[in-house]
Amino acid sequence: MAETAKEYDVVIIGGGPAGLAAGLYAARGRRRTVLLEKGVVGGQISLTDIVENYPGVPSVNGFDLAQTMLKQAESYGLESEYVPVSALERAGKRWRVRTGAGELLAKAVIVTTGADYNRLGVPGEERLTGRGVSYCATCDAAFFKGQEVAVVGGGDAALEEGLFTTRFAGKVTVIHRRDALRASRILQERAFANPKMHFLWNTVVEEVLGEEFVTGLRLRNVVTGAEDVMPVAAVFVFIGHHPNADFLRGLAAMDGGGHALVDDWMATDVPGLFAAGDVRQNSARQVASSVGDGVTAAIAADHYISASFPD
Ligand code: NAP
């Protein structure tokens, strides 16, 4: 006999700051709410060593902040399940959410699936991932004590993670494709002042070298065209993110970059479907702004349920 789908008021897909904030507000608003997460709650911040720009919290480990947010939301009745979502579809006025552990029915769905890191797309990168190619310095920097490593990118993530890596590595070279950084001034000041941080400008990675483990990078100067090989034991790649919204394709309107289009209330063009945080167009991509998005979406979902499902 087919198992009956569990029924919820609100299903939240994705457990980053937007999803956790939406979960707190929906559960505290006495809506039966479940948060679905395929990995670890916190999303990108769970891999961030120190978050120091979340107002009211001067400095906190990203993983710890996410765990605190989860416990706070659970104390108001938020349920959480660690399962991947395979499909989302209309079921009359409701939504059917298919997961790795069965089906759920929801009056409203809030998509907070965030974004995933971009890859360089060069030879050697995929083969040597986990063998010196990393997208998480917080996770992997400690393996390279005293060694020379590279960081690719010129944004906040590259500098923040590069600075973290200096705690372990002997030398950290930031490889950037231009001659000016995109990162915030305060991180630039810290990076330039750190004697272990070095910079290679106007340079791109053409290939990650190594048999079993990374041994170096083949580089090209984009101004002169000159090629060079730089010996390193690891390369940390921080070249931006792309939204995780594939399952929204064909369901809701999206922009060319794959972000969900939403109004001021985080509502998509489909009734009862909301998107918040990095997955939506024009997100400021900060913990604080994602939290605000999640709160807005939960309040909008609450109003939507009251109007569309009168008792
Ligand atoms: P980002 O700001 O988009 O920066 C990506 C960097 O990678 C840019 O410097 C870009 O170069 C470079 N890049 C992009 N594609 C490349 C490629 N194919 N090859 C080589 N370089 C490439 O991404 P992010 O640093 O991950 O930050 C994402 C968001 O999170 C931002 O809004 C950021 O402010 C936020 N964030 C904040 C903090 C913090 O406040 N402490 C920490 C981490 C992240 P160009 O500059 O030439 O485009």
Nearest 5°: the CA angle 294, 48, 259 is 40
Among 135, 156, 175, 178, say which to mutate for ligand 1: greatest number of ligand atoms within 8 Å of CB. 156
Res. 82 pLDDT band, cuts 50 70 90: very high
**Which has more pLDDT, 286 or 76?**
76
Q: Which ligand 1 atom sits closest to the C-alpha of 158?
A: 25
pLDDT higher than 60, residue 269: yes
Q: What is the pLDDT of residues 135-168, one digit of tens each?
A: 989 888 999 999 999 999 999 999 999 999 999 9
Q: Are 238 and 155 in contact (CB under 8 A)?
A: yes
Which one is catalytic: 64, 139, 263, 269? 139
Walk me through the domains of the chain, giving residue ranges and CATH numbers.
6-116+241-308 (3.50.50.60), 119-237 (3.50.50.60)
Please say if 139 is a catalytic residue. yes
Q: What are phi and psi of 40, to 5 degrees?
A: -115, 140
Per-residue pLDDT, averaged over 83-105, amounts to 95
At 141, is the secondary structure helix, strand, or coil? Answer: helix
Q: Which long-range contacts (CB under 8 A, 24 or more apart) does 84-91 make?
A: 84/38, 85/13, 85/36, 85/38, 85/247, 86/247, 87/247, 88/13, 88/247, 88/248, 88/251, 89/251
**Residues linked to residue 241 through DSSP beta bridges, in sequence order:** 117
Per-residue pLDDT, averaged over 233-252, amounts to 93
Res. 48 pLDDT band, cuts 50 70 90: confident
Rounded distance, CA 260 to CA 281, Å? 6
Q: What percent of the chain has pLDDT over 90?
A: 88
Res. 285 pLDDT band, cuts 50 70 90: confident
**pLDDT at position 309, please?**
96
Q: What is the pLDDT of residues 202-218, one digit of tens each?
A: 999 999 999 999 999 99
242: its two tokens: 């792309």
Residue holding tokens 């794959």? 258
**pLDDT at position 246, please?**
86
Residue with the smallest CA separation from ligand 1 atom 22 is 239
Res. 247 pLDDT band, cuts 50 70 90: confident
Residue with the smallest CA separation from ligand 1 atom 13 is 239
Residue with the smallest CA separation from ligand 1 atom 34 is 156
* Best CA proximity match to 27, nearest among 291, 307, 308, 301: 301
Q: Are 125 and 29 in contact (CB under 8 A)?
A: no
Rounded distance, CA 288 to CA 52, Å? 11
Please say if 116 is a catalytic residue. no
Q: Are 278 and 241 in contact (CB under 8 A)?
A: yes
Q: Which ligand 1 atom sits closest to the C-alpha of 51?
A: 41
Residue with the smallest CA separation from ligand 1 atom 26 is 240
Please say if 156 is a catalytic residue. no
**Residue 261 C-alpha to ligand 1 middle, in angstroms?**
22
Q: Which ligand 1 atom sits closest to the C-alpha of 241?
A: 26
Residue with the smallest CA separation from ligand 1 atom 39 is 156
Ligand 1: list residues with CB < 6 Å: 53, 152-158, 160, 177-178, 182, 204, 238-241, 285
pTM, rounded to two decimals: 0.82
**pLDDT at position 50, please?**
83
**pLDDT at position 1, please?**
43
